[in-house]
Structure 1
Amino acid sequence: MKNILKTLALGLGIMLVTTSCVDDLNTEPLNEQDINAANAFDTEEGYSQFLAKLYGSLTLTGQQGEYGKPEIPAEDEGTTSFLRMYWSAQEVSTDEAVTGWNDPGLSDYQEHTWSDNNGYLQLLYQRIFINIAYCNEFLRAVDNNIGEMDEDFKAEVTVYRAEAQLLRAMFYYFAMDLWGNVPFVLPEDGVGAFQPEMIQREALFDHIEAEILEALPNLKDPRQNVYARADKAVAWTLLAKMYLNAEVYRGENRYNDCIKYCDEIINSGQYNLIDNYRNLFLADNHQYRSEIIFPIAEDGNNTRNYGGMTFIIHAQVGGTMDADNDYGIPSGGWSGNRPSTSFVERSFEDVTGATDKRAIFHTSGQSSLEITDPFMFNQGYLTGKFKNVSSKGIKGKNGTFVDTDFPMFRLADIYLMYAEATLRGGAGDRGRALQYVNEIRSRAYEDASGNISDAELTLDFLLDERGRELYWECHRRTDLVRFGEFTDGKLVWDWKGGIQEGIPTASFRDIFPIPAFDLGLNPNLKQNPNY
C-alpha cells in the first residue's frame, strides 16, 4: 500500500544514543538481520534502508514488530513511540484530552503538576534525541562517503541527505518547542562518550532555520517524492510554523515570513481541501495527498507497535463504542482518552455532527458530559475522530495494529496559519484570510451556513477554529502557549491545575523541565527556571 513501509519492515537495528553520553554506534549486529552503523552503508540499498529508519523513528519502538529489542528501555515499549509520547504531551496537557488512565506521570500532564522526574517526559526526551542521533549518523556517513559514489547514485543520495537534514531539524524543532534550551549535537561531533553543550532557544531557532533553508534546494518538489517522505512543502510548513511562533521562541515578529511560506504551499497548486473532512482520519487516508502534506505512515502488518496511531485509536475507544465494526479494532478499545467537558462545550454548539461535521463524538452510554472523575471513562463525551476503517467501510488489515496514517501537517493548518499571521500584523491579505477560513468551514458544514463575516474573524475565533479543525492532531499545547492561554491565561478547563473546575497554573510550565536523569549525567545542562 505504501512503498516506504516495505523498507520500514526491515527493522534496522541501531544502538541507543543518549544526549549526555553519546555511545559508540559502530557495534557489530547481534545477528545477520540487524543493520547498524558498522555495516549499514556497505551497499547502496543500505542508504535507503537507513533513511527508512529515520522515518520509522516517528512511530516505531524497537527492532522486531510490536515489542522486543526496544531502542529505549521501558516497562511498556509502546510508551517509547515518538508519536504516542508527543501526542500525550501536546494533548493531555490541554483542554483537548482527559486521560482515563492513572499511569504514573500521565495524570501530571492533565493537572499541570509534572516535575523533572516525570517518566513520560523522560521517554519523549530520549526518543527525540535518539532520533536526532540517527539523523546525525546518516548525515555523517553520507558526507564521508559521497565522494566515492558514481554520479547517478550521488544525485539520489543528495536528496536522501536533504530529507535527513530536514528530519533532524524537525526533531530539534520539537525539542525547542517543548524544552527551550537543550543539549546540542552535530554530525561532526562524531561518536564516543562526551557531554554536549546546551544551546539556547534563540540560537537553536537560528540553527534550525539555517538547516531547513540549506536542505530546501535539494528536496523534491511538492508531491513529487515517494509517499510519506519529505519534500519542499514539508520544509515550507515547518518554516511557517517556526515563524508563527517566533515571538515565543526568540521574541521576534516573523509573521511576514510565516505568510511567505504558507503562500509557497498554497501557490504551488499541488494542494486542496478534500471534500469530506472525516475521510482524513481513516485507514485509507494515504490517498489524500492533496491535503495531507506530511503523514506519519502506518501499516497494520509492517509498522506494528503499541504506540503511534495504534495507541491513538485504541485509547479513544471504550464504553458502548463498537470497537470492531465501527473502528476496525476487534481486539478492543483501551478506554484511555476523551475530550474535556470544556473543550466540547467551547468548540461545538451541536455535538451530534449534524451541522459541523467535525463534531465526531460518541455520547450513547455516557453518564454525562461533565467529568467529575477523570478515571471514570463513562463520564464525558468520547471522540471517534480516528478509525482503522476505510472510507468504503473496509476494516484495516490487522485487528490490533492500524493502517491509519497520522496527518502531521495538512493544508487546513496552512490556511489557518496564514489567517492568524495576517491578523497578528503580517502583510497578508485579510480578504484571502477570510476566504481560507470559510473554505474550511464550508467543508465542515457542507454548505455556506457556517461561514463567518469579516467582523467575526478575530484571534479568539481563530484559536477556537484551530481547536475545531485540528483537535487531537498534536497542535493544541503549542497553540495555547502562543495565545497565552496554556497556563496563566483566562482559559481554564476541567482538571487543569488538579481541580474539576480548572484553575490557571504557573507560567513557567509553558516549557517542560529538562529530565533529572540528564542533568545528573551532564554538568553542561541547566534546568529551566522554577523546576
Structure 2
Amino acid sequence: MKKIRFGFLFLTILPFFTFYSCFNLDEQVFSEVTEESFIPTEKDMAALLASAYSPLTYIMNWQGYFDLQEEPADCIITPTRPNGWDDGGTYRRMHQHQWTSEQWQPYNTYLTSYEGINNANRVMDQVKSGSLPVGDLGDATIAELRAIRALWYSILLDTHGNVPLVTAFTDEIPEQASRQQIYDFVVTELTEAMPDLSEKNDRDTYGRMNKWAAYMVLARVYLNAKVYTGTEQYAKALECVNEIIKSGLFELSTDFSDNFTIDVDYRNKEFIFAVPYDKIYAGAAQHAKWYPPVARFHFGSTFQTWDGSCANPQFINSYQEGDKRLEKTWLMGPQYSITNPTQLVWTCLNYLPSLTCFKGTENHTSIDYGYRVAKWEFDNTATFNWGHDFPYFRYAETLLIKAECLLRLGQEEEVAADLVSQIRRRVFDNEEQAKVTVADLKADTKIKYGTLDWDNNLDVLGDQTPVQFGGLYDEWGWEFACEAQRRIHMIRFGTFSSKNWFNHVAVTDGHTAIFPIPYEELQSNKNLSQNPGYSM
C-alpha cells in the first residue's frame, strides 16, 4: 500500500485485521479464535483500541471540531453564497458569538468526545476484567487508553469546561465536574500513564498516543492553564516541550506544504500526533465547504464542492511581504480551467462585503468573494471524501510553545526569537525577512481590529489595546491558519472577547470563551447545569 492507515477501518471490516497493513490472502485460515487462544501482539493492539480513536475523524467533517475552532475566530468566515449557506443563521451565530445550547458545532464536538471517552472506558473495562486478553501488554494498553481518553477530555476542557467526568463503562447518570476537576484529571491521567507509553515514533505508533503525543497534550493544557483554571503553568508547559525537543525524533519539514499533501504519513517527522483519514473508509468532507461548485473545472475533479468558507480580509492583510504561508494556505486571484488555460472559472478576491452579502433587498452574493482555504493539496482523484491525514500536533507547535513560555516567563528571550525565526526560514526566501527579534515578538499584532463596512474599511473600532506579545500571536495565526486552533490562541492572548472583527462585535463579558452544555444533554441528565451566561 502506498499509504498507511490507522485502524479506523474497524467500522467496516473485522476489527482484528485492519491496522496499517496489506494482507497476504493466502495465509492459513483458522476456524475459530477464542479468548483463550487469542493472544494479541503489539501490532494487534491498534485494531483493539481503534474505537477510542475513530471519532477523531469528525474533526474535518460536517460542522465538527474544525468549524468549532475556526468559525468563531478572526480567520475564517462562511458568508451567504449564491447557492445558499445562510443555513438558518448557523454561521452568522458562530461569527457573532450568538450561539445557543442547540448549536450543532459545539453539540457535535461534545457528542464525538463522549463517543471516544465511552469507547475508551469500554475497552479499558474489558482489559481489566480479562474479557479482552492482552497478555503482557496490559500496562501499555491501559496507559494508551488513559492517554487517548485524556486527549478527549482536553478537548472538552477547552470547549465546554464543566462536563461529566466518566471513567467507567456504565449506565449510571454522571455528575457534572468543574473545569478545574477536568483539568486536574487530564494532567493526572497523562502524568501517570506516561511511564508505560511507547517512546517509538514510527509506523506502528502513527496516529496513536505515544509518550510524545501525551507530552503535547500536557503542553497545550499547561499553556492554556490560566484560561482553564486561573493559574499560569508556563514552566510546566516548557518542561513538556523540552522533553519532546530533547528526544531528537522530530524536525520541521523542509517545505511547509509537505504537512498537507495527499500522501503524508508516518515518514513526516514534523507530525507528533496525526488523525489518519482514508477517503474510502474514513474520509473527510471539510474541503467541500472551501470551494465553489465550479472549482471542479479548475482542479479537474469529478466531484462538486459546495461553496462556503473564505478568509477574513483583515487576517489576509496581516501577512508580511514575502511570507509564502500566504500562498501556501489560501487560493488567491484568477482561477482558470484546467483544460483551457485562457478560460476564467472564477476569481478569489480579498474582499467580502458582509456576512449576508445583502444590501437591503439587493442580493450581492458571489462565488468570487474571499480567498479560499488551500492549505491541503487538492485531491482531484477522489470521488468526494478526502484522505489527507490531519496534523493534530506538529513540531512547529512544540517550538512555538517553547518560545511563548520563555517570553511569558521572561527567560532566554533571544532563544524564543531564534525558535520563531527557525520556523519562518522555510517560508521566506530572504534570511533577513525570516529573522525576528524579541522586540518584534513583543510588538502589537499586525491585524487591524474593528468591524468592517461594506467596502471593507474599518468601521466600529472597539477595543484597540495593544495585544501583549502580538508578534508571537501573529506567528501562531500565520503558521496554524485553518488547523482548528485559532479560537484557542485568541482566548489565550485576550482577543476573543475583547476585539471586533469583520461583522463581529466583542461579547465582552467573556462567557462565550466556553460553549454551552447542549440542550439535549441538559434534558436527559438532570445532574447538569448550564454554563454561565447561557440560558437553557
State the TM-score bracket (shorter-chain normalisation).
Answer: 0.7 to 0.9
Are 1:473 and 2:483 matched, yes or no? Answer: yes
Q: Which residue of 2 aligns with 1:392?
A: none
Q: Which residue of 2 aligns with 1:330?
A: 302
TM-score with structure 1 length normalisation?
0.79
**Deviation of residue 41 (structure 1)?**
11
Q: Which residue of 2 aligns with 1:35?
A: none
Q: Distance in 2 between matches of 1:513 and 1:40?
A: 44
Q: Indicate if the aligned counterparts of 1:358 and 1:469 stay in contact, CA closer than 8 A.
A: no
Equivalent runs, 1:15-94 vs 2, <5 Å: 43-44=38-39, 48-59=46-57, 79=62, 85-94=64-73
Kindly tell me: are residues 78 and 415 of structure 1, through their superposed partners in 2, closer, same or farther at Cα, counting changes over 3 Å?
Answer: closer
Q: Which residue of 1 aligns with 2:102?
A: 117
**Deviation of residue 479 (structure 1)?**
0.7
**Deviation of residue 368 (structure 1)?**
4.0
Secondary structure (helix, strand or coil) at the match of 2:10 reads: coil
Q: Which residue of 1 aligns with 2:20?
A: none
Q: Distance in 2 between matches of 1:454 and 1:359?
A: 26
Q: Which moved more, 1:248-257 or 1:105-114?
A: 105-114
Q: Indicate if the aligned counterparts of 1:4 and 1:226 stay in contact, CA closer than 8 A.
A: no
Q: Which moved more, 1:468-477 or 1:225-234?
A: 225-234
1:517 to 504, 514, 520: 520
Q: Indicate if the aligned counterparts of 1:221 and 1:233 stay in contact, CA closer than 8 A.
A: yes
**Deviation of residue 437 (structure 1)?**
0.3
Partner amino acid, structure 2, of 1:431: E
Kindly tell me: are residues 340 and 173 of structure 1, through their superposed partners in 2, closer, same or farther at Cα, counting changes over 3 Å?
Answer: same
Q: Which residue of 2 aligns with 1:382?
A: 372
Kindly tell me: are residues 319 and 401 of structure 1, through their superposed partners in 2, closer, same or farther at Cα, counting changes over 3 Å?
Answer: closer
Q: Indicate if the aligned counterparts of 1:358 and 1:444 stay in contact, CA closer than 8 A.
A: no
Q: Distance in 2 between matches of 1:57 and 1:355?
A: 30
Q: Distance in 1 between matches of 2:35 and 2:5?
A: 18
Q: Indicate if the aligned counterparts of 1:41 and 1:141 stay in contact, CA closer than 8 A.
A: no
**Deviation string for 1:140-174 (max 9, x for gaps)?**
1111118x95xxx4333432322221111011111
**Residue segments in structure 2 that go unaligned for 5+ positions in a row:** 15-33, 80-84, 335-345, 357-364, 443-468
Kindly tell me: are residues 505 and 320 of structure 1, through their superposed partners in 2, closer, same or farther at Cα, counting changes over 3 Å?
Answer: farther
The structure 1 segments of at least 4 consecutive aligned residues displaced by more than 6 Å after TM superposition are 39-42
Q: Which moved more, 1:205-214 or 1:362-371?
A: 362-371
**Deviation of residue 288 (structure 1)?**
4.5
**Deviation of residue 430 (structure 1)?**
1.9
Secondary structure (helix, strand or coil) at the match of 1:295 reads: strand
Partner amino acid, structure 2, of 1:170: L
Q: Percent identity?
A: 26
Q: Distance in 2 between matches of 1:355 and 1:249?
A: 31
Q: Distance in 1 between matches of 2:167 and 2:36?
A: 19
Kindly tell me: are residues 41 and 198 of structure 1, through their superposed partners in 2, closer, same or farther at Cα, counting changes over 3 Å?
Answer: farther
Q: Indicate if the aligned counterparts of 2:299 and 2:378 stay in contact, CA closer than 8 A.
A: no
Are 1:154 and 2:135 matched, yes or no? Answer: yes
Q: Indicate if the aligned counterparts of 1:357 and 1:444 stay in contact, CA closer than 8 A.
A: no
Secondary structure (helix, strand or coil) at the match of 2:273 reads: strand
Kindly tell me: are residues 523 and 41 of structure 1, through their superposed partners in 2, closer, same or farther at Cα, counting changes over 3 Å?
Answer: farther
Partner amino acid, structure 2, of 1:299: D
Partner amino acid, structure 2, of 1:432: V
2:174 to 182, 185, 196: 196
Q: Distance in 2 between matches of 1:317 and 1:164?
A: 38
Partner amino acid, structure 1, of 2:5: L
**Residue segments in structure 1 that go unaligned for 5+ positions in a row:** 15-38, 62-76, 305-309, 390-394, 498-502
Secondary structure (helix, strand or coil) at the match of 2:482 reads: coil
Secondary structure (helix, strand or coil) at the match of 2:274 reads: strand
Equivalent runs, 1:29-428 vs 2, <5 Å: 43-44=38-39, 48-59=46-57, 79=62, 85-100=64-79, 101-104=85-88, 105-145=90-130, 149=133, 153-187=134-168, 190-192=169-171, 194-224=172-202, 225-304=204-283, 310-318=284-292, 321-322=295-296, 325=299, 329-349=301-321, 358=328, 360-364=330-334, 365-366=346-347, 368-374=349-355, 376=365, 377-389=367-379, 396=381, 398-425=382-409, 428=411
Partner amino acid, structure 2, of 1:177: D
How many residues get paired?
458
Q: Which residue of 1 aligns with 2:504?
A: 496
TM-score with structure 2 length normalisation?
0.79
**Deviation of residue 505 (structure 1)?**
4.8
